Structures are given as C-alpha cells and as structure tokens.
Structure 1
Amino acid sequence: MSNILENIKQLAINEGIGITKLEQTIGASKGVLSRAIAKNSDIQAKWILKIVENYPQYSCEWLIKSEGPMIRKNNLTSDFNSILTEQSINYKELAEARKETIESMKKEILHLEEKIAEK
C-alpha cells in the first residue's frame, strides 16, 4: 500500500474516525478512499488537498512523503497570528475607506448647505 494511503488510514485512526467519516468530511463520495485503500490504487490530488484543508494540524510532508512528525508544531499559534494580522490589515483598510467616505460626504453637505443659503 502506498505511503499516502497508509498515512490517510493513520490520520483517521488518530482522529478516532473511520475512512467513511473521513470521506464525508472532505466531501468525497462514499468509497473514494476506502476503494483506493482496498485496491492500493492512486487517489486524486484534490482529495489530498481536501484532507490538508480539513486537518491542518497534520504535516503535509508527513502525509505525502512520510517525513517528519505527523502533527505540525506551533501551527495553531502561527495560523492564529496570521489571521489576526490579516484581520487588522483589513480593519485598517476599512477604516481608511470609511474615513474617505465621511470626508467626501462632509464636502457634499457643505456644498449643499451653501446652495441652500444662496436661495
């Protein structure tokens, strides 16, 4: 059996789930992984990608090449920090855009008030 299929089985065992549940989690049809494991055949790369997306705590290097530790170290901390950084950047951009909108509206109000005062 290929290393990837063995590692997928090990991941399921480690998560305390069966292969069928793993298939459901990644959105694969029933039997996609279990047939590949039973027949020792290849699986599509999209299923490996789905596993990586749904189980980010597992090392890609371990899953694909059986190298290094199964569980990534410090992934939660670095993922959390990158999310915070992205959100703070987005909030800053949003605040700047709103500030520009407010300034534009103030100018428009001032212009309209001047027009009203002329009448």
Structure 2
Amino acid sequence: MNILLENIKILAENENISISKLEKEIGSSQAVLSRAIAKNTDIQAKWVLKIAEKYPQYSCDWLLKKEGPMLREMTKNTDIYGLLEDGVENFKILTTSQKQIIESLQKVIFYLEKQDETGRQEKNKNN
C-alpha cells in the first residue's frame, strides 16, 4: 500500500474513526477512500487537501511521505476561537498559522503533481 493511503488509515485510527466516517468528514462520496485503500489506487488531490484542512494537527510531510513527526506542534494560539477572544495580537499569530497551512497545502499539491507527472511519463513509456 502506498504511504499516503497507509497514513490515511493511521490518521483515522488515531482519530478513533472509521474510514467511512473520515469520508463523511471530508465530504467525499462513500467509498472514495476505502476503495482506494482496498485496491491500492491513487486518490484525487482534492481529498488529500480536505484531509489536511480538516485535520491541521497532522503534518503534511508525515501524511504524504511519512517524514518527521505525525502531529504538528499545536498551541492554544492555533485555536481560531481562542484567537478571537485574545485580540488583535493574536490575529498576527492566526495569519502565521494560516500561512503555515497554505505552505503545507502547497507542498501537498507539488508532491501530487510530481506523482501525476511521473505516472504520465511511465504510461507514455509503456505505450
């Protein structure tokens, strides 16, 4: 099984939810993830992005490549509701946090685009 699918299973286990529940949480149709896991096939980048958005506490480097710690260091200041209560200074922290999420999502997109390009090149070689 590829690293991404394996890590999605681990994430679901760590969150104490089923793959079906994870599919509902990210808004995918039923069996999008479970079918990919069962058949060891790729999933669309939009589902990886939805997982990263829904579970920002998980490192994108870990999710995609199993590199580094599974969980990102989270602080009280990464909680949006807490930030709203604490005032303007914390909006700066929120902005930094959002930039980190955007950078992580850009890494996800770059990685998936490279995988797609490699797959296309291999397919062209075989044809």
- Shift of residue 76, structure 1, vs aligned partner: 3.1
Could you tell me how far 1:78 is from its partner in structure 2?
Answer: 5.1
Moved over 2 A (4+): 75-81
CA distance in 1, matches of 2:41, 2:5: 9
Is 2:68 the counterpart of 1:53? Answer: no
What is the match of residue 79 of structure 1? Answer: 78
What is the rounded CA distance, in whole Å, between the counterparts of 1:23 and 1:80 in structure 2?
A: 24
Deviation string, structure 1 residues 11-69 (Cα, Å, up to 9, x no partner) = 00000000000000000000000000000000001000000000011000000011001
* Unpaired stretches in structure 1, ≥5 consecutive residues: 92-119
Query: How many residues are treated as equivalent by the alignment?
Result: 88
- CA-based RMSD of the aligned residues comes to 2.3
* Counterpart amino acid of residue 78 in structure 2: D
TM-score, scaled to structure 1? 0.66
* One-letter code aligned to 2:44: Q
Distance 1:12 1:80 in 2: 21
Q: What letter is aligned with 1:76?
A: T
User: Which residue in 1 is equivalent to 2:66?
Assistant: 66
* CA distance in structure 2 between the partners assigned to 1:5 and 1:77 by the alignment: 30
Secondary structure of the residue that 2:14 maps to in structure 1? Answer: helix
SS across alignment from 2:75:
helix
For 1:17-32, list aligned pairs within 5 A: 17-32=17-32
When Rg is computed on C-alpha atoms for both structures, the one with the higher figure is 1
- 1:36 corresponds to which residue? 36
Name stretches of at least 5 consecutive residues in structure 2 with no aligned partner. Answer: 92-127
Shift of 1:88: 2.2
**Deviation for aligned residue 1:80:** 4.4
Q: TM-score, normalised by structure 2?
A: 0.62
Identity of aligned residues (%): 60
